Amino acid sequence: MNTISESTRSYPLWRKTLTGWLVCGVLTLGSSLAFAQSTDNAQIDVTGSITGGACTISTPSVFLGDHNPVEFKGVGTFTDWVDFPITSGGCTPDIVTLYMGFDGTADVDDANVFAVASGGATGLGIQLQGLDAAQTIVIPNSTTQLVTWVPVAAGGTYPMRARYWQTKATVTSGPANGTVTVMLSYN
């Protein structure tokens, strides 16, 4: 058996090695505990966000004029178009194509036009058209018949137009107002 002599005593080699490892382990454990109890810790705060592109627009009130019910000659007749702009508030640079959908109550007699508010004129609806490259006639609440644009800078416009469209055999007098919400999607 291998032995190590210290002064006058002799110990087996394994006992000397085991004692060294135990001392080393205790020192390591002690230094870890000291580190864990240190009051000089620091933290890292991480902030940020992941966002997609966006566009903003503003819309005007559109006055379609005052009309006499006798101007309407039958289902499918209409007033002259009234042009109006949807104004761009700008788009982020990653937007390549801007799509506009239009949500609102469809007329009960012709689902291709928007209803006028109840309590007013009857027998007609409101038709919208985008003056995009395709001259898209807007279908209320459609997710496929969208007006398609290349984004324009802030202050630029997306030209649109609107008119009254006769939906019943007879048009009656009264306010002919309606509300349409513009829904945007991108790329």
pLDDT digits (tens), the chain, 187 positions: 444 444 444 444 444 444 444 444 444 444 444 445 556 788 888 887 777 789 999 999 999 999 999 999 999 999 999 999 999 999 999 999 999 999 999 999 999 999 999 999 999 999 999 999 999 999 999 999 999 999 999 999 999 999 999 999 999 999 999 999 999 998 8
Residues 19 and 63 in one domain: no
Residues 68 and 157 in one domain: yes
Structural domain count, the chain: 2
Asked if residue 49 is part of any domain, the answer here is: no
Burial 116-134, CB ≥16 within 10 A → b, else e = beeeebbbbbbbbbbbbee
Asked if residue 45 is part of any domain, the answer here is: no
Residues 28 and 98 in one domain: no
Residues 76 and 143 in one domain: yes
Residues 103 and 158 in one domain: yes
Is the CB of residue 79 less than 8 Å from the CB of residue 67?
A: yes
Query: In angstroms, rounded to a whole number, what is the distance separating the alpha carbons of residues 141 and 59?
Result: 18
Q: Report pLDDT for 36.
A: 54
Q: Which domain holds residue 22?
A: 3-36
Asked if residue 42 is part of any domain, the answer here is: no
Global model pTM greater than 0.75: no
Q: Report pLDDT for 134.
A: 95
Residues 86 and 156 in one domain: yes
Give the other-Cβ count within 10 Å of 171's Cβ.
23
Q: Report pLDDT for 178.
A: 96
Asked if residue 166 is part of any domain, the answer here is: yes
Query: In angstroms, rounded to a whole number, what is the distance separating the alpha carbons of residues 158 and 160?
Result: 7
Q: Report pLDDT for 173.
A: 97
